[in-house]
Amino acid sequence: MVLVTRLIQSVLSLAELKLRRDWLLYHLQQMPLPEAARLLEALCKSSERGDPAAREVLIAWVVGLVQLGDCTWVSALRQICVESGLLSLNRLLRPVFQPPVLSEVAPAVPDYGAGRELSVGERRSLARRPNRRAFDRLLSDPHPLVVRVLLHNPRLTEDDVLRLVVRRPIRPAVIDELARCPNWLVRPRVRMTLLHNPGTSGCVTLPLVALCKRDELLEIVENTTLNGVLRTTARELLDRRPPLGEVPTSTLH
């Protein structure tokens, strides 16, 4: 477990979640894939058993997975999990069947009251402004670049982000841009809204469910509108949580 301890110490030496995520992904992708898989398996097991330091690092791994999506590296990592019986890591990587999305008319650009359709540049400029006058329209804007700028606006609130993620079907651009803003992604209310939205991709929900507390896992298990793989994963994680009231004991030494 020496490597896991060193990994945790290195990640926690960085103050910001984004820096932790970026360092962790770079470090893992420089390692031989089987070694990275074993290291992540040990990290996931420690987090499941209630180790607080492991859980902090798991947050960085989870937001990294959401950012990566189902890329070639993740697919290869999943295959190693299956071949080597790495069950804890595989829970975050399981393939989830998503029903095909029916073709829809592209969302219209909101009317910003200018008497014409504003350009993307103009809408991005509005999204940067330190006032909330145009926020109602900006939250409905379909362009990814507008969403990206808005998510970094210091006047944006958690309630605003919830308005983005509660929509059904959820816009893929919102997920993609939230992956760039991990601090929003891991907020409990935002995370749970994404998990309860049936349109959220399995590449997002399975990593995020690993961050849930006991009562949140139970909510997922009992929501029969959700994907069966997600609910099964929530049940497995619930079964592995330490009993209520138990003081976590480190598994890293």
Shared-domain flag, residues 133 and 195: yes
Domain count, the chain: 2
Query: Would residue 129 count as lying in a domain?
Result: yes
Mind listing the pLDDT tens digit of every residue in the chain (253 residues)?
A: 678 999 999 999 999 999 999 999 999 999 999 999 999 999 999 999 989 999 999 999 999 999 999 899 999 999 999 999 999 999 999 988 766 555 456 678 999 998 999 999 999 999 999 889 999 999 999 899 999 999 999 999 999 999 999 988 788 888 888 888 899 999 999 999 999 998 888 999 999 999 999 999 999 999 999 999 999 999 999 999 876 544 344 433 3
Shared-domain flag, residues 124 and 232: yes
Shared-domain flag, residues 86 and 153: no
Shared-domain flag, residues 22 and 130: no
Query: Would residue 66 count as lying in a domain?
Result: yes
pLDDT of residue 248: 42
pLDDT of residue 168: 82
Report the alpha-carbon distance of residue 81 to residue 248 in Å, rounded.
Answer: 26
Q: Alpha helices of the chain — where are they, by DSSP H?
A: 2-12, 17-30, 33-48, 52-68, 72-84, 87-93, 120-128, 135-138, 144-151, 158-165, 172-179, 182-185, 188-196, 202-209, 214-222, 228-240
178-181 CB contacts, 8 Å cutoff, 24+ apart: 178/66, 178/151, 179/63, 179/66, 179/67, 179/204, 180/67, 180/148, 180/151, 181/151, 181/152
pLDDT of residue 250: 40
* Boundaries of domain holding 32: 2-93
For the entire predicted model, the pTM comes to 0.88
Report the alpha-carbon distance of residue 88 to residue 236 in Å, rounded.
Answer: 10
pLDDT of residue 184: 93
